[in-house]
Structure 1
Amino acid sequence: MSSIGTPLMWWLFAAFVVLALVVDFIALNKQGAHKVSMREAFVWSLIWVGVSAAFAGWLWWYLGQSPDEATRALANTKLLEFTTGYLVEKALAVDNVFVFLMVFTYFSVPGEYQKRVLMFGILGAIVLRAAMILVGAWLIARFHWVLYLFGAFLVFTGIKMWWAAGQEPDLESNPALKWLRRRMRVAPGYDGERLFTNIDGKRLATPLALVVVLIGIVDVVFAVDSIPAIFAITTDPFIVLTSNVFAILGLRALYFLLAGMHERFHLLSYGLAVVLLFIGTKMLLLDIYKIPVGLSLGVTAAILAASMILSAWIPPSDKKGTAYPFAAKKPDPQEKR
């Protein structure tokens, strides 16, 4: 499969991601456990968006250094592909944020511990998506019809998301959570930011460990949705991976920025469902009519903007799910873990 990514570009990108994560880890340890303020989340969100924009600008400049018209056209195309891919992945990440919020609320995770959990989630998401993207690129390069499977899956996911929008997921009946509870000896309360603790000489997982595993499962579920979506925009592995990773790197700041405003965007899930339907249809029509990347970017941005504007005009329904905080649940000594 053709790609603009040269060995030098791949190494530079990998070095940047490692450096960004190291700096993030150092800052996390230096700050210690603390509740992230709206101001801090806003500043970090701006920083990550700025870094992504700087990368897009560098990519455009690097690819278009030659005055040749074909070279400039390639640079413009790749810039559009990266921007569209980044916007789609960022939009889907918003849905991640709301699910993270539900998990944290269910387990009554203190605000000062959420930052470290999300850091683990980001690390897992980067590794997982890199592997899935490489496998997806390999499949598409050898089996063109895989694109139709991706398209059909996105249409199905969009329809499913539309019907599920506005409904509170029931974590209590979640099969993954039930499976984890049967196989993990879980302490009745938190022990700081530790994932494991000792009680009466027994080593037990803290509720935070359970949350980390669930966040990882959420990453897997959303990766299955988002990877086909980006391949509908471009099949260039370098653009697919970079747009994904840059969207993920700012996920933690985005969570703390939107966590207190999730009810204001109650119609966003409907907008994301329409975006997935549009992208899935685009992929299914690939060999009949190739929708321009610029048009895809405009349609995606318009749908997301409309869903947010309508969220401000139309009040949310009164339907609320019931949350059962983990800390409020008394451990049953007879229950088999």
Structure 2
Amino acid sequence: MHVSATVWWLTILGIVGLLLFDFFFHVRKSHVPTLREASVWSALYVGIALLFGVGVWMFGGSEPGAEYFAGYVTEKALSVDNLFVFLVIMSSFKVPRADQQKALLFGIVFSLLARSGFILVGAALINMFAWVFYLFGLILLLTAGNLLKPEGEESHSPDNLMVRVARRLLHTSDTYDGDKLFTVQDGRRVMTPMLLVMIAIGGTDILFALDSIPAIFGLTQNVYLVFTATAFSLLGLRQLYFLIDGLLDRLIYLAYGLAVILAFIGVKLILHALHENNVPFINDGEPVPVVEISTGLSLSVIIGVLVITVLASLFSAKGRVQNTASMMRRHAQEYLDVEHDPGLRTELYGKLVAGEEQLRGLPDKHRKLVRQEAELKELLRRVHEEHDRS
């Protein structure tokens, strides 16, 4: 599918316009998005992405259209998994909920820029070296294997290399001043921890790109489709964060579903590499007659695996218990260490009381699934003590 320079520039300007609109009309003023606000805008961004895909299908053909949708669905699923890491970062740095939007939007913009760079590099490598498909396939298979390892919140450390370097070079204040990057403390202009939060998110975005870019190149090698599918999967991610915050811990089988998808795409890439083979030590540098996986089959497998994964997670008793316990742990920490607004604290306390009643109503075999139960009980005890004193 040939794309003219005019269409490229119009697409880029449209994406930049959506990001600027998001900043000036939603993020500029600190606030906690309501469920309705998050739902409406999440649906709008998904709708824009789907309409764009319909346009690709109509004007570019069914094959590019299917490639775009396969890439978009895969990248969106990977971005949902990434939201869990963002949640860990926000909790670790104790960012007030009303001030999280600017950090999230920065993460989305940084991710878009980083992935655009990786897309250009990936496209150049593919054009120069056919063996790159072997490398991409191996990366995806290794990533799929890593996703199958048991992990929890403690495995997603926000203290990455970029943050450690920033801590050494940048001296920040101990407290936030809304979502500002700088504040005045003791008559001096100093940086706030919000800058470290953005650096932590930016550092993790680079790691995410190393997985997502090979994945989408396994579905299409058209740079325009790779870029647009990636960009539209990131747009609306901020609203989605607030919309499915309460469901992130519930998706306990998402990592397994993503592992299957990435392994499937990895095999697809290796089969394509064999079909186009020119590596001297494989079949004497001649193409290997193998069956390639069609785009239609790829799209069907990706959607099918995600549907099964999400439904299995939502109807799982283990998922319900883990979701409730993890939310209570976060809300308790927010009540004790992060939020100072009386209205938000009252709302958090109400959620904690409701969560306690929900856990007490579970059978013993389900309550035993609560991880770090002693730590959770201690947090709840401190919350009740502080609430009684206030």
Q: TM-score category by the smaller chain?
A: 0.7 to 0.9
DSSP 3-state at the match of 2:190: strand
**TM superposition shift of 1:262:** 1.2
User: Is 316-325 or 169-178 further displaced after alignment?
Assistant: 316-325
Q: CA deviation at 1:95?
A: 1.0
Q: Match for residue 93 of structure 1?
A: 79
User: How far apart, in 1, do the equivalents of 2:160 and 2:124 lie?
Assistant: 33
**Matched residues in 1 for 2:22 and 2:337: separation?**
33
* Percent identity of paired positions between Structure 1 and Structure 2: 39
Q: Where does residue 81 of structure 1 map in the other structure?
A: 67
Decide which of 120, 129, 140 is 2:106's aligned counterpart. 120
Contact 1:117 1:211 survives alignment (8 Å): yes
Match of 1:26 in 2: 24
- The residue number in structure 2 matching 1:15 is 13
State the shift of 1:84 in Å.
Answer: 0.3
| Equivalent of 2:41 in 31, 38, 44 | 44
Map 1:104-119 onto structure 2 (within 5 A). Answer: 104-119=90-105
* Cα pair 1:264 1:311 within 8 Å, conserved: yes
State the 1:248 CA deviation: 0.7
Structure 2: which 5+ residue stretches go unaligned?
Answer: 276-289, 339-390
Going from structure 1 to structure 2, the CA distance change for 1:178 and 1:11 (only over 3 Å counts) comes to closer
What secondary structure sits across from 1:10 in the alignment?
helix
Change over 3 Å in CA distance of 1:164–1:198 after alignment to 2: farther
Q: TM-score, normalised by structure 2?
A: 0.75
Q: Is the 8 A contact 1:196 1:205 kept in 2?
A: yes
> What amino acid does structure 2 have at the position aligned with 1:293?
T
Take 1:49 and 1:219, find their aligned partners in 2: how far apart are those partners?
21
Question: TM-score if structure 1 supplies the norm length?
Answer: 0.87
Q: Which amino acid aligns with 2:24?
A: I
Equivalent residue for 1:334?
none
Q: CA separation of 1:22/1:313 partners in 2, compared to 1, >3 Å: closer, same or farther? A: closer
- Match 1:218 to one of 200, 204, 217: 204
The equivalent position to 2:300 in structure 1, one of 298, 303, 318, is: 298
Which structure: larger Rg?
2
| 2:41 corresponds to 1:55 | no
Counterpart position of 2:237: 251
Amino acid at match of 1:294: G
Mark the CA change 1:60 to 1:174 in structure 2 (over 3 Å): closer, same or farther: closer
The structure with higher relative contact order (CA 8 Å, sep 6+) is 1
1:62 and 1:176 map into 2 onto residues whose CA distance is: 43
Partner of 2:179: 193
| Unmatched runs of 5 consecutive residues or more in structure 1 | 64-74, 330-337
Q: Residue 137 of structure 2 contacts residue 267 of structure 2 at CA under 8 Å; is this kept in 1? A: yes
Q: Is the 8 A contact 1:86 1:246 kept in 2?
A: yes
The code of the aligned residue for 1:281 comes to: V
Aligned counterparts of 1:185 and 1:7: Cα–Cα separation in 2: 45
Q: Structure 1 residue 12: deviation in Å?
A: 1.6
For residues 124-180 of structure 1, what are the alpha-carbon distances to aligned partners after superposition, in whole Å with 9 as ceiling and x for unaligned?
Answer: 111111111011101101101011101000100110111044453253765544333
1:180 is aligned to 2:163:
no
| Change over 3 Å in CA distance of 1:275–1:18 after alignment to 2 | same
CA 1:97–1:167 in structure 2 vs 1: closer, same or farther (change >3 Å)? closer
Q: How many residues align?
A: 314
Pick which of 198-207 and 273-282 moved more.
Answer: 198-207
Aligned to 1:285: 271
State how 1:260-271 maps to structure 2 within 5 Å.
260-271=246-257
Distance in 2 between residues matched to 1:93 and 1:104, nearest whole Å: 16
The secondary structure found in structure 1 opposite 2:173 is coil
Q: Tell whether the 8 Å contact from 1:97 to 1:258 is kept in structure 2 after alignment.
A: no
Could you list the structure 1 runs, at least 4 aligned residues long, displaced by more than 4 angstroms after superposition.
164-167, 172-176, 317-325
Structure 1 match to 2:369: none
Q: Distance in 2 between matches of 1:278 and 1:209?
A: 38
Aligned Cα RMSD in Å? 2.3
Rounded to whole Å, the distance in 2 between the matches of 1:231 and 1:87 is 14
Aligned to 2:214: 228
Letter matched to residue 46 of structure 2: V
- Compute the displacement of 1:107 (Å): 1.4
Q: Residue 328 of structure 1: CA displacement?
A: 5.6
SS in 2 for 1:171: coil
Q: Which residue identity does 1:41 align to in structure 2?
A: A
221-230 vs 247-256, greater mean Cα deviation: 247-256
